[in-house]
Structure 1
Amino acid sequence: MLDLRPVGYVIGLLVAALGVTMVAPFLADLVAGNGFWPVFLESGVITIMVGGLVALSCSSGISTGLTIRQTFLLTTLVWLTLPLFGAIPFLLAIDGLSFTDAFFEAMSGLTTTGSTVLSGIDSLPEGLKLWRGILQWLGGIGIIVVAMVFLPELKVGGMQIFRSEAFDTMGKILPRATEIASSISVIYVGLTLACALLYGVAGMAPFDAIVHAMTTIATGGFANYDSSFASLGAGVEYTAALFMLLAALPFVRYVQLISGNGARPLLRDSQIRAFFVIAAALVLVLAAWNWALGAALTETGFRKSLFNVVSIMTGTGYASADYMQWGPFAVTMIFFIGLIGGCAGSTACSVKVFRYQLLFSAVKAQIRRIHSPHGVFNVRYQGRPVSEEALSSVMAFFVAFMVAIGVTGVLLGMTGLDFITSISGAATAIANVGPGLGNEIGPAGNFGGLNDTAKWVLSIAMLVGRLEIMAVFTILTWQFWRS
């Protein structure tokens, strides 16, 4: 029988830790004098008490490691439980906000999707703005740990090819997770502080700089304004583009960098090179398209193309322009850009560049086998042959990814949404990008007008996409609970 005590113990500790982080928005609102600080005091007390009691009740099951089944369950339940408590401040602070909307906002924050149901964000109290930023910041560092420790161990989506780079766990998942988390925390905090500093230099107010730095490094996309980045200035846009790119790189390379290995691992990583080549090509194509439509050949046109391509490709979801007005080609291009993603082991989301590299290598090898039936052609990555197991895992991920978008799109259509809203909403949720397409959920709108059923479908889709799909699907099988 599956022992749930170790899972409950870890989840209880994480819930209590989430409650402790509510001190920051409590202090922010107390200083601002908005009168909303009791919301975070009450939310923090509830969250810490519940998390602490769960941890205490499950403490008898503490072990030095987790089994594979327990790890699958933990990675899913954490991202399902934390939004429940993350939603409490929204429920208590915003009059008339339903539990569905509060949960959607918290799930969007912790999965770093960036879709929002809130309007009038400009006038929200400082505590709530900071809380939205904290949710995404915690979700960003959390998904790095999951991608570097848990998913390689669980062999999800081909992530096992990074096991040696992500400090081989050797079955001792929890101790290794703590070690890796401490290493990447230094880098994560450092990038956040550097981003906030440069935002301030570019003209942002200190509070806005801190919150936007959190959501930028997390590639989350929650902004303090309904217009997102549309009116924040050129310096802010370039700063955001730079740090979105940095956050989309493998954090294990930063660990190696500060460990004294120099920049060689960064420069030699084929995934990083491919990521920058793809991003540069897409920016140039989109800029050329806008110029061909009659837009002036100006720095502004290039900057808007750069910012929005980087934002959608990394899954951040900020918008500095309504790209729905850029014509059908640009809108179609934006849709598919969101299905690319950043690098494995980063805060970025979606398919990830390394999977496309493996897919194209497999196609190339198959074409060569057709030409030379007696030849031996292996799929290679970073100069090393890729095992059939890893390759099959990647192929399964691609299939599951497309099926998940299709099923989610159909479910959204059944709730009464039109085709564009349904398919783009499904894609943006599974890929954790943020804005969809169309007037309702596009860059100039939000998800507040959707019906409750659609919001729950999208909330679950965000969770499934954030955990690389297969990790969630596995625990839904009968075999998982039997053996």
Structure 2
Amino acid sequence: MLALFKPVLFVCGVLAMSMAAFMLVPAVYSMAVDDHEAMAFFSGCGWSAGIGLVLLMSNRSRDFTLNARQLYLLTSLSWLMLSFFSALPLTLTDHPLTLTDAVFEAVSGITTTGSTVMSGLHDTPPSLLLWRSMLQWIGGIGVIGMAVSILPFLRVGGMRLFQTESSDWSDKSLPRFQHLARSLVAVYLGMTLLCTLSYWFAGMTAFDAINHAMTTVSTGGYATDDASMGRFDNTILWIATLFMMLGGMPFTIFIRLVSRPSLRVFRDDQIKGFVLIVIVLVGVLFLQQWLTTDREPFEILTQAAFNIVSVITTTGFASEDYTLWGSFAMALFFFVTFIGGCSGSTSGGMKIFRFQLSWLFLRDQMRKLVHPRGFFVVRYNRKPITDDIMGSAVAFSFLFFVVLTLTTLALAATGLDVLTSLTGAATALTNVGPGLGDIIGPAGNFASLPDSSKWILSLAMILGRLELLTLVVLLSPVFWRG
């Protein structure tokens, strides 16, 4: 058993030290603006670095390898650990959050969910706002790295459909992985910088531009004001819409685009499906609002496009309280919550490719009913779909709705109403952010929920971010007997 944990804890030590280093950024910024919160970050840095150092020194090994069981353990344990470390500064401020609220806020940040228990953000020390944004930005690059390197090796997630090379962690593949990691970081940094400049040129302050760029590209949704994006004009909303769309696409596509510029990279079936679904949903919502309200058409289009893209990419920004747009809009946004972006993006949700695979599977079954003796090959991205990929998609979908049901019932057992329980469970598992209703809707937050509800939602956010199976496998007896 010690052999199972030793390399995992070593990597966790590295991650703890990395998180400690990130805490120095808001600490230095706090000193620069004199918002009296520097000590909270220095203290959090000290605790994280100290624990990280202990893990590093006590688990060093010359032969460092990670097998599949250890990767499952590392993936789950690292996200749980980073969530608690990132909560430390929030409990040590001059106006500290409770442990429950701090963990909830940190989990929501690191998983790029965007649900919040904080209000009065315009009066919140800027270093704390910067830390919230940084958590989502860190979580975003972590999500991409996990999606393209670890989950495919564990046969979880969808990037196996889009890769031409193996994602194993053998010595032979290490240079390839290091090159991929550097390319992902470069693209992620470049997109964040471009988004920052776009916001700044459009009229945001430098502070708002930096914070919102980090939470836009990471499809996280944290803002620097309680009004979220509602205090900005249409130009900024369209910029946000564009970068949320980009954040919802596979980042490996952008690497290929940079290395070999060609628009043919966008012929990817997943991207085409993603763009088509967004266009249809925006068109439907625009038409419904245009026929039932007297607002200006361009204003309707802007609000419809921004909020649909925000929800489908699981960003969670809000420019208006769309629950006031009528029953049709509420129902539409509820179902859009489940879709999500592309595999290999910073988005959460069930992912576009699973819906596409389900449709291909359904179409194949209908053809077999008509032609029982026929032989049909199901293809995706011009490649045959193997049974294990199809089985993985079916297993995920089944597990998702089982966990959604259990989470909804657990929240209802804490005293929440049905709408809050159902949409709270959905928004946590899909990492969207706001739910529906007066309490956790776009105009509310999660502060008034019981502590027990917040812990349930925190676990659900991590479950959703790890694509469910990664964490659920740890709870199965076969994992510990293997």
TM-score by length of 2: 0.97
Partner of 2:411: 412
Q: Partners of 1:158 and 1:198 in 2: how far apart?
A: 31
Q: CA deviation at 1:261?
A: 5.2
Partner of 2:328: 329
Partner of 2:457: 458
> For residue 72 of structure 2, what is the amino acid of its counterpart?
F
Report whether the alignment pairs 1:472 with 2:471. Answer: yes
Contact 1:22 1:44 in 2 (8 A): yes
Q: Partners of 1:295 and 1:400 in 2: how far apart?
A: 43
Report whether the alignment pairs 1:370 with 2:369. Answer: yes
Contact 2:41 2:89 in 1 (8 A): yes
Partner of 2:200: 200
Q: CA deviation at 1:378?
A: 2.2
Contact 1:341 1:353 in 2 (8 A): yes
Percentage of identical aligned residues: 43
Contact 1:152 1:163 in 2 (8 A): no
Q: CA deviation at 1:175?
A: 6.1
Alignment map for 1:265-344 (pairs within 5 Å): 265=265, 267-344=266-343
- Which is worse superposed, 93-102 or 425-434? 93-102
> For residue 14 of structure 1, what is the amino acid of its counterpart?
L
Partner of 2:136: 136
Q: Partners of 1:164 and 1:88 in 2: how far apart?
A: 41
Partner of 1:47: 48
Q: CA deviation at 1:169?
A: 2.6
SS of the residue corresponding to residue 342 of structure 1 reads: coil
Question: CA deviation digits over 1:116-164, x for unaligned, max 9?
Answer: 0111111111110000011000000001010001111111145432342
Q: CA deviation at 1:39?
A: 1.3
Q: CA deviation at 1:419?
A: 0.3
Q: Partners of 1:43 and 1:297 in 2: how far apart?
A: 49
Q: CA deviation at 1:236?
A: 1.2
Q: Partners of 2:26 and 2:49 in 1: how far apart?
A: 15
- Which is worse superposed, 178-187 or 324-333? 178-187
Contact 2:314 2:432 in 1 (8 A): yes
Q: Partners of 2:133 and 2:96 in 1: how far apart?
A: 22
Question: CA deviation digits over 1:256-313, x for unaligned, max 9?
Answer: 1122253322x21111111111001111111111112223243111111110000000
Q: CA deviation at 1:232?
A: 1.2
Q: CA deviation at 1:254?
A: 0.9
Partner of 1:217: 217
> For residue 287 of structure 2, what is the amino acid of its counterpart?
A
Q: Partners of 1:18 and 1:32 in 2: how far apart?
A: 22
Q: Partners of 1:8 and 1:336 in 2: how far apart?
A: 39
Partner of 1:60: 61
Q: CA deviation at 1:183?
A: 1.1
Q: Partners of 1:163 and 1:261 in 2: how far apart?
A: 18
Q: CA deviation at 1:33?
A: 1.3
Question: CA deviation digits over 1:33-90, x for unaligned, max 9?
Answer: 1111111111112211211221121112651x31000000001011100011100111
Report whether the alignment pairs 1:103 with 2:103. Answer: yes
> For residue 276 of structure 1, what is the amino acid of its counterpart?
V
Partner of 1:189: 189
Q: Partners of 1:397 and 1:291 in 2: how far apart?
A: 38
Q: Partners of 2:134 and 2:234 in 1: how far apart?
A: 25
Partner of 1:18: 19
Q: Partners of 2:454 and 2:176 in 1: how far apart?
A: 36
Closer, same or farther in 2 for the Cα pair 1:171/1:362, shift >3 Å? farther
Closer, same or farther in 2 for the Cα pair 1:62/1:118, shift >3 Å? farther
> For residue 412 of structure 2, what is the amino acid of its counterpart?
G
Closer, same or farther in 2 for the Cα pair 1:158/1:239, shift >3 Å? closer
Partner of 2:254: 254
SS of the residue corresponding to residue 314 of structure 2 reads: coil
Q: CA deviation at 1:168?
A: 3.2
Partner of 2:352: 353
Partner of 2:32: 31
Q: Partners of 1:464 and 1:176 in 2: how far apart?
A: 29
Alignment map for 1:214-253 (pairs within 5 Å): 214-253=214-253
Report whether the alignment pairs 1:74 with 2:84. Answer: no
Q: CA deviation at 1:221?
A: 0.3
Alignment map for 1:434-449 (pairs within 5 Å): 434-449=433-448
Q: Partners of 2:354 and 2:362 in 1: how far apart?
A: 12
Partner of 1:482: 481
Q: Partners of 1:227 and 1:392 in 2: how far apart?
A: 43
Q: Partners of 1:441 and 1:327 in 2: how far apart?
A: 17
Contact 1:219 1:314 in 2 (8 A): yes
> For residue 187 of structure 1, what is the amino acid of its counterpart?
V
Contact 1:342 1:349 in 2 (8 A): yes
Q: Partners of 2:371 and 2:417 in 1: how far apart?
A: 48
SS of the residue corresponding to residue 152 of structure 2 reads: helix
User: Where in structure 2 are there 5+ consecutive unaligned residues?
Assistant: none
Closer, same or farther in 2 for the Cα pair 1:376/1:136, shift >3 Å? same
Q: CA deviation at 1:115?
A: 0.3
